[in-house]
Structure 1
């Protein structure tokens, strides 16, 4: 047989097995190794899904052992999923949502189509209901979906082209996922298997990286060293409550992320998840000095209000961490109150939704909405553009900021762009917590260290307030901002709770899942930006913590059928709450400079 024919036949056979041979007929050892590993582990995942189905078939309320057996089978199935999650969630993203999507309805905007929740997280929620047998039919539907889909996973490799660069990127994202979501118990809050599952994810990383660590010098040696350290810590203590997450991050996971970056030849080799550039935001921002200077000047310009008495800085005061420290500020008329509390602008640029209800997708859109709002600034475009255009100071500032402008120099769009540029600079990341992560172990007290571990563990705060900004920007891609329904009460009196009348995002998108949905705010600088919640009705963090400790509105007995926060009490004692609040104090940046 001629050599050319052999290559053609071999290539066709490999393609049928799901491997795409790159030009030149060579496939790297890393790619071949990864595909072999995935096929093997995908088969084990499919087998564990079948076993889970069988266990659920045997569930009886009268026999608690059958329910526990189903939970143990779920643990096994989740562990097998974690062994292939790095691959699925990077290369087969649309398929991965079948297995491990959050147990809430995902709404596709602006088309208002929504996807029913499916997969392991839904199964977990149902297995922890009071009457499990009543949900057996739904549980079996879920396990059938998972097992049948898992059985077809190898077929999805057909025609799939992957490279070494992509594999290393999938590993980088998996390390971020473990460091942010995994150790917080984001996708297994009831089972509390986040630490054990982190170990399975790390073992997958270690196995897949083997070909890339051979003869690669210091970066490879460091990667192997930090991987082993991370795995040893997980094996040493896999208890979800007691696991020392702060030690895990500082001594193992963050250095591991940096070493993997070097292994991959990244230009940003020193990035870890607590560096804002790792969020892949801000790379196309224009924050040139002239534009920021114009934006800062406009931020404090009272001519941007209809009566020339209010500026952006009137409510977002730098000395108050860009808040006003009021429950609700006065409207432009001077006597009525605005609908919601004034949030801080620190880190506002690192979000994908603005306003409490997330109705603005960009900062520029938000700035223009505030300027035109009759109750906030009520600016008349023609008048303000004329006033600013006549002022020598602004002609010079706009010319410097927009040197290539060929049309009218002063426009509303450029005003918004300039203010946005200024807001994009409000991300100092210089709190004691940040200094601690950078090596200053005296920056935080022992109580604050314990508070962080509680925050990310027993208190479950980290399942909504994601690091590094402790807001709703979802790792590892940081490509969307989550909104939550927590059943916020109208006031802080939890003895006689009353439902809040504010419908949140429902006002913009009137579908039931958005009733009472609000953006998850950043907890950075939270101890100096009271009062709290979208209505400012909680005066202290102790009140806020008690609300969460009792399971939100649903846990307090209010009818909140779409609550995304667990209604089960957290069981935090006074000492634990105190330490969590002390940790939150370690998220306070240095005050903003205005000169």
Structure 2
């Protein structure tokens, strides 16, 4: 494992050598100097961490405390360089701060074992950290040796002010969707302190621009100072008011930073699904739909045709059902059943029919992610004998027999003389599904400026969701699904240790292997896509098997630590088995917030 990590670091050096140069960038030298200083600080802190871990003694509980404190210090130093390292040297960043779970590199199907600072935190907070000392020492050694050579990444390195500004843009998103939620330090609960450190670094990096006077620089300087002041005044993790922070200074800083970048003509958009023209992370258009459609833009005629086809029974083999049979608009495009009725109306299909709102904003479809696009999912469902049992030749013949559909397809796809085709049919339905993302819930109204949109319980619930309850460490803002910030380029799959029933005192093993059936790698055993929790209050029952009848049962399960927390044994569970210790009032507040994520009803 150690050899693999060193190879990974060498690969990062090669990336550094091939970087494209730019000229006349006043912030570059300043930023590189900040990185050098931060890298040296992180290197020194990683040495202290290694020494503290080496000193762990099974008969000295204080040695564990000392190691945890050294880890906190090391993480704070890392946050000084995270914006730079993660943007310019992503591979190296993963050596230091990879998520504490096995990750699969698709489509190559190579896996990367958990490592770095997050893995050290997990091991240090186990019941018997001393029993994991050998692993801890190995992790600390890798970090220390790699950190000692960090500045070598700068060999022949050149960049531009545009790239630096984009790295800051992404860092703000990382802080709002991950930093203040404790995404990469749930055991330590240092997310607020680490966010403060990152904000101070942003302030230092932007100094060359903020030293000049303009409306844009004054606004950025004001909100940066306000953010740091707020974070300094409210250091506690569990009681931090994230909603207040975001609305009073965090999101205004993001908006003013965008305005400054545009004023300086330093726009650069290289690789994320973010829409940089959106004001902030909670704007309705913050995530760019084109990132999920290979750049395609759906037309209004496609969407209209797709809506008609969604409710067209001619797409089923026996002319008795359509997509809306199992995805009913009045139930937010779910069906209220544990698992949907099959075509024979006697048996049921294997998995729960999830709501389709926001389904267009993900890179993997179906619970196991086996379809990479909505179009592929649609064609798969139509042809499935249990679901619609549609046959392409029969479907196309039926549609061509209809003058209405011949004209509608021709209008939607005028460039194609043979417009009535299965690919066009699937694209049109996908276009319609893309419209099922209204983002007009009470929470959205609150972020849009209506401070009366949320009740006090819902406000407390938001802060719990994005804090103590750790919900937002898997259901990431703003879509509250498994799209991982700040790039939103991947869809996460998690193993919750989900049972087959909702009796958590007597849980039964679920035989569904999940994504493992599609990609037979052990770490995908019982892993399923992380769905959005927007509109979840209206789409019971829950989970891939529909086993949980209400949100109360869902909360009980998570509060206990998932399947392993309720007494099951699943070696591949990715959800922490550590109980959340939420009380009844907190659970009620969380559920109240879930209701605040309910959009206005979507008309058929």
- TM-score over 0.5 (shorter chain): yes
Which of 498, 508, 532 matches 1:498? Answer: 508
Q: Which residue of 2 aligns with 1:459?
A: 469
Q: CA contact under 8 A between 1:53 and 1:144: conserved in structure 2?
A: yes
SS in 1 for 2:77: helix
Please state how far the C-alpha of 1:20 moved relative to its aligned partner.
Answer: 9.0
The number of residues matched between the two structures is: 575
8 Å Cα contact 1:491/1:537 also seen in 2 = yes
Q: Give the root-mean-square deviation of aligned CA atoms.
A: 1.6
**Given that residues 18 and 155 in structure 1 are in contact (C-alpha distance below 8 angstroms), is that contact kept between their aligned partners in structure 2?**
no
Cα deviation for residue 484 of structure 1 reads 0.5
Q: Residue by residue, what CA displacement relative to the aligned partner does 1:223-278 show, whole Å, maximum 9, x if unpaired?
A: 11111111111111111101110001111111111111111115955521113533
Question: Which among 263, 271, 292 is matched to residue 303 of structure 2?
Answer: 292
Secondary structure at the residue paired with 2:286?
A: helix
Q: Distance in 2 between matches of 1:288 and 1:18?
A: 43
> Aligned to 1:176, what secondary structure does the other structure show?
helix
Q: Aligned partners of 1:122 and 1:591: how far apart in 2?
A: 43
Partner in structure 2 of residue 278 of structure 1: 286
Question: Equivalent residue of 1:277, what SS?
Answer: coil
Q: Which of 321, 337, 356 is the aligned partner of 2:367?
A: 356
1:203 aligns to 2:213 (yes or no): no
Moved over 4 A (4+): 17-23, 266-270
Q: Output the CA distance in 2 between the equivalents of 1:272 and 1:159.
A: 35
Equivalent residue in structure 2 for 1:82, among 57, 79, 82: 79
The correspondence for 1:532, drawn from 542, 560, 583, is: 542
Match of 2:561 in 1: 551
1:213, distance to aligned residue in structure 2 (A)? 1.4
Alignment of 1:25-104 (within 5 A): 27-104=24-101
- Cα distance in 2 between the residues matched to 1:590 and 1:473: 23
Say whether residues 1:324 and 2:335 are aligned partners. Answer: yes
Hey, what does 1:366 align to over in structure 2?
377
Distance 2:433 2:278 in 1: 25
Q: Give 1 or 2 for the bigger CA radius of gyration.
A: 1
The 2-side partners of 1:297 and 1:587 are apart by 27
* Equivalent in 511, 515, 521 of residue 525 of structure 2: 515
1:549 positional shift: 0.7
Superposition TM-score, scaled by structure 2 size? 0.93
- 2:477 pairs with 1:480: no
Aligned to 1:236: 233
> Hey, what's the Cα distance between the residues in 2 that align with 1:569 and 1:372?
43
**Residue 27 of structure 1, CA deviation:** 4.3
Within the candidate set 410, 416, 420, 1:405 is matched to: 416
Counterpart CA distance in 2 for 1:314 and 1:271 is 38
Offset at residue 499 of structure 1 (A): 1.7
Question: How far did 1:140 drift?
Answer: 1.1
Task: Classify the secondary structure of the residue corresponding to 1:297.
Answer: helix
Pick from 308, 316, 319 the counterpart of residue 308 of structure 1. 319
**Structure-2 separation of matches of 1:38 and 1:177:** 18
**Counterpart-to-counterpart distance in 2, 1:149 and 1:162:** 22
TM-score (norm 1): 0.94
Provide structure 1 residue ranges, at least 5 long, that are not aligned to the other structure. Answer: 1-16
Counterparts of 2:399 and 2:189, CA distance in 1: 58
SS at the partner of 1:190? coil
Name the SS of the counterpart of 1:155 in structure 2.
Answer: helix
CA contact (8 A) 2:26 2:161 kept: no
Q: In the superposition, relative to structure 1, how do residues 21 and 449 fare at CA in structure 2: closer, same or farther (>3 Å)? A: closer
